[in-house]
Amino acid sequence: MPHTFALPVAASRSAFPVSRAALIACLLCFAPAAGRAQSAAPPAHGIAVANMDPAVKPGDNFYLYANGAWIARTQIPPDRAAYGVFTLLSDLSTKRTNQIIEEAAKSNSPVGSNARKIADLYNSYMNEKGIEALGQAPLQSHLKEIAAIRDRRELALALGKSLRVDVDMLNNTHLSTSNLFGLWIAPGFSDSDHYVPYMLQGGLALPNADYYLTDSDAMKQIRARYTTHVTTLLRLASFDHPDQRAAAVINLETSIAKTHLSIAEIEDIAKANNPWARADFSRKAPGLDWNAFFEGAGLTHQQQFIVWTPTAVSGEAALVASTPLNVWKDWLAFHLIDRYSDVLPAAFAEEEFSFFGKTLSGVQQQRPRWQRGVAVVNAYLGDAVGQIYVQQYFPPEAKARAQALVANLIAAFHKRLDALTWLAPTTRAEAHAKLDTLYVGIGYPEKWIDYSAYDVRSGDAFGNAFRASTFDTQRWIARLGTPVDRHEWCMTPQTVNAVNMPLQNSLNFPAAILQPPFFDNDAPDAFNYGAIGSIIGHEISHTFDAEGSAFDDKGRVRNWWTPADHAHFDDEARSLAQQFDTYEVFPGLHVNGKQTIDENIADLGGIAAAYDGFHAALKGADAPVQNGFNGDQQFFIAFAQNWGSKTRDASLRNQVMLDPHAPGQFRAETVRNSDAWYKAFNVQPGDKLYLAPDQRVRIW
């Protein structure tokens, strides 16, 4: 499936009630780990020499060599799970977005306009006194509806009504959804010209099944605190016997967790392509009244689905029949409260942060309310803000320069494909076709979301959040069966990230990431190609990784590789996975090479293509020397400085367990597979990172 460039490392909660996995992605677009922020010296147009530690030998620890001084002097702010360059850029984007929101709030724009919606949404969230005055009232009609459920049919109807399009396989936010099932709407595996619904495992409030099933002391402590969390929210919502109800809810979630597939299994496209007709659900997944479920979900007329995790869907459906009705009602009530806690009185929001922020991520204090308010607006009206953002902060000349760099990277990939001896001629021709049809979105989308059907009301924070999730789900369901827009974006311009979407054969590079210290018009090519070039190359490389290679130039799932091609690729991928398996994050906890393999391959390909693009851009000239570093040295240092980070232990542990990206310190050391890196820094046998030439992984 498609991949973001640098997913965050913490399972903390945001101010807005979308899926917990999506919360992880969205919130920590505001605070992921990486980079060269907080330099003691003024920003340089190029590598940050002040952040380096020359006492470290490059061949022993290239990550610390490039970032050691920054790491030594940097403290993680108490409201962050991690700190780095993404934080720097996201903070800048947040401040800019806040200015846009404040201007909208002062404009007294007409009712129904985007500016008025932005103002009313933000002001309703910021009105803490108003939220306190309403108390639990916004919840009551929903809780009464749940309490009135009388039988399994009405339960199935309620489960369907709660379904949201909040699982996004394009953004790696598929790890968990608090709805019973995950729903994703995207181009079809076989019919990539039309939107189809995908159904996945769901039902968990904790990040994934390991949190319920792993028998370690750390997980036992988290589960104990989670029990307190569930009990507290039910008590705050005036449920009697909240401790007993909480125990039953957690027992149900534990049973659900036992049906779930692992992250590595979910990412196996071959196992995900399971077409089910509507009539198949009752036969293959008995226990749930599927007619009532689809009625509640607004999917009555949909006849074809792709069930990504069939064993989990079947297992969860069976639990609907075998678990007492009252337990399911409490499960629905808890998930509703949990989902919308940040737009309820402070006691709810504080408890939510205490568990998901402090316990799961190690964050010491809540983010300022205005920053969470910006996150709310970005989540619900992101394109409305984005239109203004690019007008103010992404001029046409910046887009043109970024497009030129992208063109050089694609040309470099074409040349690398031609140089590969292990690819069959037919496979190479198909790979060239994918590059030729690849859409690369720079800065902002060509079409913006129409928010006219989203009802935003002044002073109704809870209602605005609830209607936002409903609006988004209905917007996507309405697209089922319609032609796919291959130029559609899945990120807002103000997002600091990048993404590859193989079902559309497209890439997105938002405006917010196309600025220093990733992309600097005043910096030498060595820096830009090492920094943003490796990111662009990373995303292009996903087009040909273990999952990207499952899709052809039209985004269809089709095997266009020969068996020999696959065998060679798998051998190299296995070697890279074994390399990452050796990296120990904490005593006894290693990076999962298989879980992170696609991102590691993309880093490897990204560096290789960016290096070639850099030298092509020189056109035979020598690269300028900066602070005594030649061009190749600057290139590799710039890449490694993308990953300098400070991360809290709890958050880092979460990343190792959940994230398809390895921690930044190990991503930086991917350079040990590049012959040019050895030459640039005179790395010799005996150095800790040294790999003999025949041990270096070479794929693209």
639-660 pLDDT, tens digit each: 999 998 899 998 898 889 888 8
Residue 56 falls in which region: left (phi positive, over 0), alpha (psi -120 to 50) or beta: beta
CA distance 302 to 183: 13
CA distance 488 to 499: 12
Q: What's the confidence (pLDDT) of residue 118?
A: 97
Q: Which of 36, 41, 13 is nearest to 26 (CA)?
A: 13
Neighbours of 188 (CB within 10 A): 22
CA distance 662 to 299: 38
Under 8 Å between Cβ of 558 and 551 = yes
The residue type of 606 is G
Q: What's the confidence (pLDDT) of residue 183?
A: 95
Contact residues for 478 (Cβ-Cβ < 8 A; gap 6+): none
Place of tokens 């953004």: 171
Helix (H) or strand (E) run with residue 559 in it = none
Choice among 68-72, 85-89, 117-121, 412-416 with the minimum mean pLDDT: 85-89
Q: What's the confidence (pLDDT) of residue 52?
A: 97
Percentage of residues of the chain with pLDDT beyond 90: 77
Place of tokens 């913490």: 10
- Could you give the residue ranges of the DSSP H alpha helices within 478-532? 525-528
Backbone angles phi, psi at 189, to 5 degrees: -60, -40
Helix (H) or strand (E) run with residue 146 in it = helix 137-147
DSSP code for 357: I
CA distance 295 to 273: 24
Q: What's the confidence (pLDDT) of residue 660?
A: 87
Q: Is the pLDDT of residue 315 over 80?
A: yes
pLDDT by residue (tens digit) across 451-498? 999 999 999 999 999 999 999 999 999 999 999 999 999 999 999 988
Choice among 6-20, 33-47, 116-130, 642-656 with the minimum mean pLDDT: 6-20
Under 8 Å between Cβ of 587 and 595 = no
DSSP string for 371-430: HHHHHHHHHHHHHHHHHHHHHHH--HHHHHHHHHHHHHHHHHHHHHHHH-SSS-HHHHHH
Angle at 300 between CA 297 and CA 305, to 5 degrees: 85
pLDDT (mean) for 609-626: 93
Query: Is 609 among the domain residues?
Result: yes
Q: Which of 92, 77, 70, 87 is nearest to 33 (CA)?
A: 87
Q: Is the pLDDT of residue 13 over 80?
A: no
Tokens representing 205?
């409030």
pLDDT by residue (tens digit) across 240-251? 999 999 999 999
Tokens representing 117?
């919606």
Q: What's the confidence (pLDDT) of residue 171?
A: 54
Which of 82-91, 265-274, 300-309, 554-563 has the largest mean confidence?
Answer: 300-309
Under 8 Å between Cβ of 252 and 328 = yes
Query: Is 53 among the domain residues?
Result: yes
For the chain, the domain total comes to 1
CA distance 231 to 250: 10
Contact residues for 36 (Cβ-Cβ < 8 A; gap 6+): 48, 51, 67, 70, 84, 85, 517, 641, 644
Tokens representing 206?
């904790």
Query: Is 103 among the domain residues?
Result: no
CA distance 406 to 555: 21
pTM given for the model? 0.84
Neighbours of 235 (CB within 10 A): 17
CA distance 25 to 8: 6
pLDDT (mean) for 178-187: 93
Query: Distance from CA of residue 182 to its chain's centroid?
Result: 16
CA distance 227 to 221: 10
Q: Is the pLDDT of residue 532 over 90?
A: yes
With the C-alpha atoms ordered 448, 178, 3, 431, is the resulting torsion angle positive or negative? negative
Query: Is 217 among the domain residues?
Result: no
Q: Is the pLDDT of residue 17 over 60?
A: no
Under 8 Å between Cβ of 435 and 502 = no
Domain with 560, as residue range(s), is 39-73+397-436+519-641+663-695
pLDDT by residue (tens digit) across 203-238? 999 999 999 999 999 899 999 999 999 999 999 999
Query: Which CATH number is 563's domain given?
Result: 3.40.390.10
Backbone angles phi, psi at 307, to 5 degrees: -100, 105
* Mean per-residue pLDDT of the chain: 90
Helix (H) or strand (E) run with residue 201 in it = strand 195-201
Neighbours of 693 (CB within 10 A): 8
E strands of 493-605, at which residues?
499-501, 506-510, 584-586, 589-590
Beta-bridged to residue 306, according to DSSP, are 198, 275
Contact residues for 567 (Cβ-Cβ < 8 A; gap 6+): none
From residue 544, alpha-carbon distances to 7, 424, 509 in Å are 20, 14, 18
From residue 256, alpha-carbon distances to 213, 316, 328, 336, 504 in Å are 11, 6, 12, 18, 32
Which of 75-79, 262-266, 451-455, 587-591 has the largest mean confidence?
Answer: 451-455
The residue type of 425 is P
Q: What's the confidence (pLDDT) of residue 170?
A: 54
pLDDT (mean) for 120-147: 97
Peptide bond into 517 cis (omega under 30): yes
pLDDT by residue (tens digit) across 274-306? 999 999 999 999 999 999 999 999 999 999 999
Helix (H, G, I), strand (E, B) or coil at 440: strand
Query: Is 244 among the domain residues?
Result: no
Q: Which of 672, 599, 641 is nearest to 267 (CA)?
A: 599
Under 8 Å between Cβ of 138 and 130 = no
DSSP code for 168: B
Q: What's the confidence (pLDDT) of residue 80?
A: 85
Beta-bridged to residue 439, according to DSSP, are 506
Helix (H, G, I), strand (E, B) or coil at 18: coil
- Residue 425 banded pLDDT, cuts 50, 70, 90: very high
